[in-house]
Copies of this chain bind each other. A is one copy, B any other.
């Protein structure tokens, strides 16, 4: 069954939208490497929290994506604008609507 990842991060004040732009850049290309769903959201209750919900064909494909030069460049670019407060849940997707 598909692999899912539900994560959050916090930007430093004023940098949330810049981080969101980085996260969304080139997202269509993820489809070619096993990503079925990649949803970026922002908190309704503060101005710094960003959520990412992902569905991949396999955990291996998700992990491989993190090693791509473009992914590493994006992470390096975003990191100085993040506080270091991350949450992350690895899950198995069991079904639903819109997959």
Contacts and interface: CB of A to CB of B under 8 A. Distances in A.
Interface string A7-25: 0100000000000100010
B91 A4 contact: no
B45 A96 contact: no
A28 to B, nearest CB: 6
Contacts of A39: 4, 37, 53, 55, 93, 96-99
- Specify how many copies of this chain sit in the oligomer: 2
A77 interface: no
Contact of A41 (B4, B27, B42): B4
Given A6-B41, A37-B99, A40-B93, 7 more contacts: A27-B95, A31-B97, A39-B55, A39-B98, A40-B94, A43-B92, A55-B98
